[in-house]
Amino acid sequence: MTKAINPRSRKVRILATLGPASNTPEMIAALFEAGADAFRINMSHGDQESKIPVIAAIRGLEKRFGRPTTILADLQGPKLRVGRFAGGRVMLETGATFVLDRDTAPGDATRVELPHREIFAAIEPGARLLLDDGKLVLRVVEHDADRIVTTVEVGGALSDSKGLNVPDVVVPMAALTVKDRSDLAFACEQGVDWIALSFVQRPEDLAEARRLIGGKAALLAKIEKPAAIERLEEIVEMCDGVMVARGDLGVELPPQSVPPLQKRIVEVSRRMGRPVVVATQMLESMIKSPSPTRAEVSDVATAIYDGADAIMLSAESAAGDWPIESVAMMNAIGEAVERDPMHGERVHFTETRPDPTTADALAEAAKSIARTVSAKAVICFTTSGSTARRIARERTPVPLLVLTPKMETARRLGLLWGAHAVHTRDVESFEEMVAKSKRMALRHRIAAAGDSVVVMAGVPFRTPGSTNVLHVVRLIGDELKGHDG
């Protein structure tokens, strides 16, 4: 029998990053109980071997709590860094000339190695180079195949191997490094549910990752480069989900540009039916403090009001002093925002027009019917998860119970707004569909005797992409009887 657990009372999902502060089985279970719906494993830190027990611990939650778990593996991506200095650290003076070159000799206050051939070919006079997360700013004066001469516009201390951002040009680098390829293969072997691709600049960047994944996981594009904004809709079309990675986006763009871009990315993702995650510095002060600032709470609430599918904790849950409290705070904010009578109106500021398909038409109708007949839930049968994504795109005000015979599908839906996924046997007839809908609604406590639910499925059954049935079902008390696997 399918073990039943109550759905979360909120619809926005919480994605918690695991790390030194939270990667034990006990802490992972505590984060789940505090409200984490999905877990992010950052492939930038630690070796692959150390990830195996973490993944096993996350999967162990399924037996304990009776709910599919969701794992996102976040690839590091191509990191641009300068070389090393003779003394380990130099001071760049504002107005001085500073050269980046191909010479491997240790640098000084006048020059340093830049071990990235692609930048020399792509850079243009007038372009900015940002060092150490944007703390230092260089302006390109001239360049050739081996040297980039710059003027220091914002000076400061610069030490070995600090990061470099190139916001003004598209650098023709492969989206997947050798490390990324290895980490991607490892993550797929371990059965993770989502692969996040970092520093996406163009839709072509996603093609190779999708080929290597080979359908074993869903692909999430991290939007953190200005170049990605210029081709945003093409990128969203090419992926299965999107992350607003505000950290690097805020380095390469003026800080005041990030909020409107966040809203735009969320709007485009929602309109195109892709789950969207808002990430980075959401409760940053809770790395060291047991409570957030009021501004941080407002930031999280804004993402929820905008209709983001998920909100993410980074260092707060991975390396902070208060990981459980951080998740609990996000959970509390989500519940409070969704209790606001205005929340339902605000999440519909984004107009999500249905595509001219039967499935989209039925998903839109399900929302309208649920409201008209005061249904307690929408229930959908799905193999691939596409029906659930169509319904979630409508931001239906009642819970969404997703019944699927594929555990892989159930797990991937952990980033989808409002979805409570249940892994269960498929149905073979209309009568069985109705009976199972009633039993599962009662068992998972999304409806009670006398309530109505809206059911969506496809006939013939067991045929992906055949959604063509919408049915209103009324529950009676003795329908909890029966067996489901």
Q: Which residues are catalytic?
A: 40, 81, 222, 280
**Beta strands at 419-423 and 400-404: parallel, antiparallel or unpaired:** parallel
Q: How far apart are CA 310 and CA 328, in angstroms?
A: 15
Any idea which residue has 């209709």 for tokens? 307
Q: State whether the Cα torsion 462-465-468-471 is positive or negative.
A: positive
Beta bridge partners of 38: 15
Backbone φ and ψ of 147, nearest 5°: -140, 140
Q: 232-261 burial by CB neighbour count: b if 16+ within 10 A, else e?
A: beebbebbbbbbbbbebbbbbbeeeebeeb
Q: Which tokens sit at 136?
A: 């230092």
Backbone φ and ψ of 34, nearest 5°: -75, -15
> Could you give the angle at the alpha carbon of 168 between the alpha carbons of 166 and 173, nearest 5°?
50
Q: How far apart are CA 325 and CA 317, in angstroms?
A: 9
Cβ atoms of 435 and 473 closer than 8 Å: no
Cβ atoms of 16 and 38 closer than 8 Å: yes
Cβ atoms of 93 and 66 closer than 8 Å: no
Q: Which tokens sit at 245?
A: 């990675």
Any idea which residue has 């406590």 for tokens? 445
Q: How far apart are CA 234 and CA 442, in angstroms?
A: 42
